[in-house]
Structure 1
Amino acid sequence: MLEKQATAFCAQKGMKPYRKNRKHGNYRKVYDMFLLAGELDWLEIRLHTLASYVDYFVIAESPKTFTGLDKPLHLRENWNRFTKFHTQIIYRIVPDPGASVGPRVWDHEDYMRNALFDQVFPALMGTEEAPRIGDALVVSDIDEVPRPDTMLTLRNCDFPRRLTLRSHFYYYSFQWKHVGDQWAHPQATTFHGLRDTIKPVNLRNGDGGHGLLPIWPLQREWEKAELADAGWHCSSCFATIKQMVSKMESFSHQSLNTAENRDPKNITERVRNGLDLFGRVGENYIRTDNNNDIPKYILDNREEFGYMLNRDGRNAGFLDANEFVELER
């Protein structure tokens, strides 16, 4: 974007244009950083949606789930599916740390999320992929997809070190929208060297970082800002019941991993009717038929991603529902 264009574009966002790195013509790289558990459809959607707007996708994957279960290395096994994006993908396989990181499931999730920086960026220094001071880093889950316009904003505009990208929040598909505030993720920050860049976990949680005591807690709050309508979050938007169950068995919220919640009949009924997957009180969703405010790649490939658009029907759009019906018989 030319400087005059950037000035006008950023003014619409209430921001000033990015001008800090004149040595490189004000060009700011954008790194899109996320973990992969096995959501290959979401990976396809994300890559196609954002490839023209970011420089690199930083993807970390482990042969273990957060709960210690063995899992395939999905990206390595499906590498050829994403040939078009190989030059933009920075892929790291992160070995399971075992009990060394702590006893909690959350300790393992935090370790993996920080690995997006700690086990990637030191190895990039001195290469073409290396970040410069001021480059933009986006930290998210794979199903938290920033809008392309948001990535243009991060590339061209000045923003504080802790920017929350508020996202429209859906469950099961873009047919069911969560009632309440916009989702408070992803987060964006800027690169300030290997030591002083805010680590992914601190960035996502809104804590940690470096500063001068005793004013640091206040300074950290001053560094925070939000950008509304900045993306989409579609939670538990899976094609199969097996994926739903796998998520419950693997994620950090193990109190929700119950036999009742894993029951295929319950999953199908809740998804079809827009009821909370875990039976939580106060978690409500409104039906949004013919929703076109979704990633364009999904709209352009309705047949492939029909389950993300409509959960009506006996099987709630699950491709493997009949397998479970046969088992019940």
Structure 2
Amino acid sequence: MSDGYSSSKKTDDICEDFCGRATRAARGMSRLRCLLREIDMKTYLFLFVVIPVGICGLYLHGQKISYFFRPLWESPPKPFHVIPHYYNENVSMETLCKLHGWQIREFPRRVYDAVLFNNEVDILTIRWKELYPYVTQFVLLESNSTFTGLPKRLIFKKNRDKFKFVEPRLIYGTIGGRFKKGENPFVEEAYQRVALDQLIRIAGIGDDDLLIMSDVDEIPSAHTINLLRWCDDIPPKLHLQLRNYLYSFEFFVDNKSWRASVHRYQSGSTRYAHFRQSDDLLSDSGWHCSFCFRRISEFIFKMKAYSHNDRIRFFHYLDPTRIQDVICKGANLFDMFPEEHTFKEIIRKLGPISHSYSAVHLPAYLLNNAEKYKYLLPGNCKRESG
């Protein structure tokens, strides 16, 4: 007691347990310092190198890790019943229908092509030029809001003069966005598709007419639609297998685009949707050209506007120089792994998409106006800034 310390004080006893006999100077040492003196080098490395690097790696690449291990927690979807597709311009329609196991009709069905429009002016032009000979009515709905709730100019309305060739067959509608902050983008998307469904009915569609349900950049080939309007006994709901391209027709991804579909319309039961509605898939039925824009500014707008905008994990993803570099390499704008359901497919698709130098069997209007749409053809990856 002569030193003035009470025997009930535990701090010095604890330090002595870890550091040996405590001197007067050591009695002021914190418990943390005592503990750290007993930690060996391997533990230091684990605490101050391995753990921080691991946390940093998860932050930077967590999405990649989750996509790579997707096969462990998500099974592949049910396989489609793939219908072989026969076509040659020198084969009669009666023979083509017969090759598919169908009978030819006395007269063709009416065809309605309905789309939600965002900002894809060039791709919409190519789509409508491709389908024009066989579509009875074009139906387009435009909103002043993106799926993510961002304000948007009515771009189609501003460019409507470019589409005078379809004006007599066009039903155009607009809808105001709900602008609900923090809402899941798929809710706004569903809201707009319901409105499009109403616009289709206003356009005068009737039972057994054909209704094309697809995004603007999912383009059915003209001969596919002509086949389906002339043939009887086609499935009431038929998905279209499209050749899948990214950025332009230079980067062929695969043949796995299936969301586009054609329906034999039935009042009271047919609803416009963009998910799987049937097990039937008609092979090689057109093209899906995703993120196929003329200007870098359009890439940036689409990245922020569409339903998967959560993929923008870092601000530098929107850097124009980076985007241009990614386009020319055929790499991923969001630095993601392939969205596949087997390790084999994920590994096979790792890295940039291979360049394709084939421009065979592309939309006729695109090739007839190759100079105007040069950026969509092989060897022309450079984009305007916008």
Superposition TM-score, scaled by structure 2 size: 0.69
Deviation at 1:170, TM superposition (A): 0.5
1:26 and 1:295 map into 2 onto residues whose CA distance is: 26
**Equivalent residue number for residue 104 of structure 2:** 17
**What SS class does the counterpart of residue 276 from structure 1 fall into?**
coil
User: Residue type matched to 2:298 in 1?
Assistant: Q
- Compared CA separation, residues 66 and 133, structure 1 to 2 (3 A): same
**What SS class does the counterpart of residue 43 from structure 1 fall into?**
helix
User: Is 1:135 aligned to 2:190, yes or no?
Assistant: no
**Equivalent residue number for residue 277 of structure 1:** 333
User: Is 1:240 aligned to 2:295, yes or no?
Assistant: yes
Report Cα offsets for 1:81-116 as digits up to 9, x if no partner: 21121011111112213449x931111112212322
Deviation at 1:293, TM superposition (A): 2.1
**What SS class does the counterpart of residue 182 from structure 1 fall into?**
strand
**Equivalent residue number for residue 300 of structure 1:** 368
Q: Spell out the pairing of 1:148-163 with structure 2 (5 A cutoff).
A: 148-157=222-231, 158-163=233-238
Superposition TM-score, scaled by structure 1 size: 0.80
1:290 and 1:227 map into 2 onto residues whose CA distance is: 23
User: Residue type matched to 1:59 in 2?
Assistant: L
2:144 and 2:219 map into 1 onto residues whose CA distance is: 24
Q: Which has the larger radius of gyration?
A: 2
User: Residue type matched to 1:144 in 2?
Assistant: E
More deviation, 169-178/184-193: 184-193
2:324 to 249, 262, 268: 268
Deviation at 1:256, TM superposition (A): 1.4
**Equivalent residue number for residue 249 of structure 1:** 304
User: Residue type matched to 1:160 in 2?
Assistant: P
1:27 and 1:84 map into 2 onto residues whose CA distance is: 22
Deviation at 1:311, TM superposition (A): 4.9
Deviation at 1:288, TM superposition (A): 1.1
**What SS class does the counterpart of residue 205 from structure 1 fall into?**
coil
User: Residue type matched to 1:48 in 2?
Assistant: K
**Equivalent residue number for residue 22 of structure 1:** none
Size of the aligned set, in residue pairs, is 282
- Compared CA separation, residues 116 and 72, structure 1 to 2 (3 A): same
1:187 and 1:252 map into 2 onto residues whose CA distance is: 20
**Equivalent residue number for residue 260 of structure 2:** 186
1:34 and 1:121 map into 2 onto residues whose CA distance is: 10
Report Cα offsets for 1:197-245 as digits up to 9, x if no partner: 2x122xx3125xxxxxxxxxxxxxxx53110100101111111110000
1:291 and 1:310 map into 2 onto residues whose CA distance is: 7
2:379 and 2:154 map into 1 onto residues whose CA distance is: 29
1:290 and 1:8 map into 2 onto residues whose CA distance is: 29
User: Residue type matched to 1:12 in 2?
Assistant: L
2:194 and 2:287 map into 1 onto residues whose CA distance is: 23
2:226 and 2:99 map into 1 onto residues whose CA distance is: 12
1:55 and 1:149 map into 2 onto residues whose CA distance is: 15
**What SS class does the counterpart of residue 287 from structure 1 fall into?**
coil
1:290 and 1:103 map into 2 onto residues whose CA distance is: 42
1:70 and 1:277 map into 2 onto residues whose CA distance is: 23
Structure 1 segments unaligned to the other structure (5+ residues): 19-24, 125-129, 208-222, 324-329
CA contact (8 A) 2:359 2:378 kept: no
Structure 2 segments unaligned to the other structure (5+ residues): 1-91, 339-348
**Equivalent residue number for residue 44 of structure 1:** 125
1:123 to 202, 213, 223: 202
- Compared CA separation, residues 224 and 162, structure 1 to 2 (3 A): farther
Give the fraction of aligned pairs with identical amino acids, expressed as a percent.
Answer: 30
2:179 and 2:101 map into 1 onto residues whose CA distance is: 46
User: Is 1:318 aligned to 2:318, yes or no?
Assistant: no
CA contact (8 A) 1:292 1:299 kept: no
- Compared CA separation, residues 319 and 98, structure 1 to 2 (3 A): closer
2:249 to 174, 177, 181: 174
1:122 and 1:303 map into 2 onto residues whose CA distance is: 38
1:239 and 1:291 map into 2 onto residues whose CA distance is: 18
CA contact (8 A) 1:160 1:224 kept: no
CA contact (8 A) 2:317 2:333 kept: yes
CA contact (8 A) 1:45 1:297 kept: yes
CA contact (8 A) 1:64 1:70 kept: yes
